[in-house]
Structure formats: structure tokens, C-alpha cells
Amino acid sequence: MTGWHAPESLIARYADGSLPDSDAWSLEKHLESCAACAGRVSGAVRATAAGTVLAQVRGAVLDAAPPVRAKTPVRAKTPVRTKTPAPPVRAKTPVRAKAPLRTPRLLWAAAPAVRGAWLPAVLLVALGAVLLAHVADFSGARPLLLAVAPVVPVAGVALSYGRHADPLHELAASTPSAGLRLVLTRTVLVLAVSLPLLTLAGVVLPASDAPGAAAWLLPGLTLTLAALALGGWLGLRAATAVTGGGWLCAVLAPALAAPGGAVSRQLSDQLSTYVGGAATQGGWAVAAAACAALLAARRTTYDRLERH
């Protein structure tokens, strides 16, 4: 028994099916150790229309079942002389059971993060920047890559979760592993693909006045966490549009408004302001930690995200 008991309003919502999944799981866990609440919940469920129908079905099944005949007692056999007992056999060392194979389940959960148009888009951004620099001799290839790279993982996260991306979304959303856990699994895969690929593309680009090839990593991580945190309120696609669109407007708009011939220079200056220097990178790190804390505080909102 426990010191807390479920109120009648909570039990009534559980019985009629209007209680959210996270609260229903919490109540079911409480019922494992509280017989009083278990009896009250059982009575409430039986009093509903569904409970009445199930009771009628159960009674009909029991009435239709044929009676079980008692078996004829079997005579005891004459005891057989026992042989001389064999020497005891030394027990073998127990074999440690192998851990269950989690790879197929992980691949099933993460698959929508790498299929569709997103992965070709990442390759196009990386290879396009390299071709612009080494084939077209475009001096602004690195600033352009650093401007676009932070929104690539954000877009990947939005395109990897929901009915629009996963044909098995309804099935996946009904499992205990759904919600934030599933979103984070796909987010990690998106980051694992995009971060090294785009960073490597930045390394092979010619040097310029723009920040280093890895300067976009913390901003990209922060924008991804911000999109996940806002997704609890707006949904992932709307949150992606807000964070990714805000970044692109802040970086590209001033550069596009620069006089002819000064676009690359203006873009480099903008990036130096937003991602260059230890103080700026420290600010991005603090922002990333704040977004992660907000995401953890709002994690239960993902239990109902895009389920209907």
C-alpha cells in the first residue's frame, strides 16, 4: 500500500479513456502496489458502457463452454526397483545469456531520419560548396557553406518525425518508445550524418576571411535544440521554420542587401559577428544548455505530439 490514493476525477477519466497516456501509465504503475485503488479503478471500468458489454461477452463465453469431465483415476503402477544411483555429474558452468539484439529496433526507429530527400540535400550542399570553390573559383564558397550549414540538421529533424515523413508514424507513436525518445534517436542520427560531412566540406574549401570550418557546429547544435524545444508548442515543422528561417534572415539578408560585388565580404563580416570568437561561441554554448534544459522540462509534451 502507498500513502497516496487516486482521486475520483482521475479514475473517472481513466475509465472513459480521456486521461492522457503519460498520466494513465503513472496511474497503472500506482495500481501495482495499491489494492484499494485497483479495486476502485476496476469498479469504475466495469460501470462504463464498454465494461458492461465486456461482462456480457464474458458471461456468454462461459455459458457456451462445455463442462469439463473429471478424468478416471489411474491405478498406481507397481513400484520398479531402482538401480544403483549413478555418481553425481558435476554441473557445468552456467553460460551467460546474450544480450538481446537491439540493432534492428534501432534501425527501424532511426530509418526515417536518413531516407527521403534530406540526405541527398546534405550531399548537394557539401558537394555544391566544393564545386563552387574549386571549379567555379567562387571566393565566397566557405562563407556560404557556413551560413547554410547550421539549418541543415534543423531541417533534417523536422523531416524525420511525423506523418509526413514516416508511413509507420501512427504505429511508432503508440509505442512506449515514442515521444521525445524517438525524436532524439532520429536527431542524433541526423547530427551524426550532417556534422562530419559539412565540416569536412568546409575543411577542403579555400581559406577566406570567414571563421573556421567548425565554427558553425555550436550554432547548428543550438538551433537544433531550439527547434526541438519550440516543437512542444508549435510542432516540429513550424519550429523549424521559425529557427531556421530566423537564422537565414539574420545572416543572408544583410549580405544580399549589400552593393554589387560586396556580397561575399558582407557575408563574411556577418558570420564573424555571429559565430566568430571565443566569446560568441561561449554564448552559443550557454544558449544550447538553456535549450536543452527547456527541452527536458517540456519532455512530456512530446507524448502527444502529432499523434492525431
Q: What is the pLDDT of residues 268-281, one digit of tens each?
A: 888 888 998 889 99
Q: What length does the chain have?
A: 308
| Mean pLDDT on 300-304 | 74
Q: What is the pLDDT of residues 16-29, one digit of tens each?
A: 888 887 777 777 77
Q: How confident is the model at residue 219 (pLDDT cuts 50, 70, 90)?
A: very high
Neighbours of 94 (CB within 10 A): 6
Q: How confident is the model at residue 221 (pLDDT cuts 50, 70, 90)?
A: very high
Q: What is the pLDDT of residues 42-88, one digit of tens each?
A: 888 888 877 777 777 777 777 776 665 655 555 555 554 545 555 55
Highest mean pLDDT among 48-57, 210-219, 297-306: 210-219
Please give the model's pTM, rounded to 2 decimal places: 0.59
Higher pLDDT, 286 or 201: 286
Residue 223 CA to residue 238 CA, distance in Å, equals 13
pLDDT of residue 224: 92
Q: How confident is the model at residue 96 (pLDDT cuts 50, 70, 90)?
A: very low
- CA dist 211 to 40, 128, 266, Å? 65, 19, 13
Q: How confident is the model at residue 308 (pLDDT cuts 50, 70, 90)?
A: very low
pLDDT of residue 1: 46
Residue 162 CA to residue 239 CA, distance in Å, equals 13
For the record, the C-alpha cell of 297 comes out as 522540462
Higher pLDDT, 137 or 37: 37
Q: How confident is the model at residue 218 (pLDDT cuts 50, 70, 90)?
A: very high
In 136-277, where does DSSP find H-type helix? 141-148, 151-158, 169-173, 180-204, 217-234, 236-256, 263-275
pLDDT of residue 231: 86
Residue 54 CA to residue 48 CA, distance in Å, equals 10
DSSP character string of 213-252: TTTTHHHHHHHHHHHHHHHHHH-HHHHHHHHHHHHHHHHH
Residue 145: what residue type? L
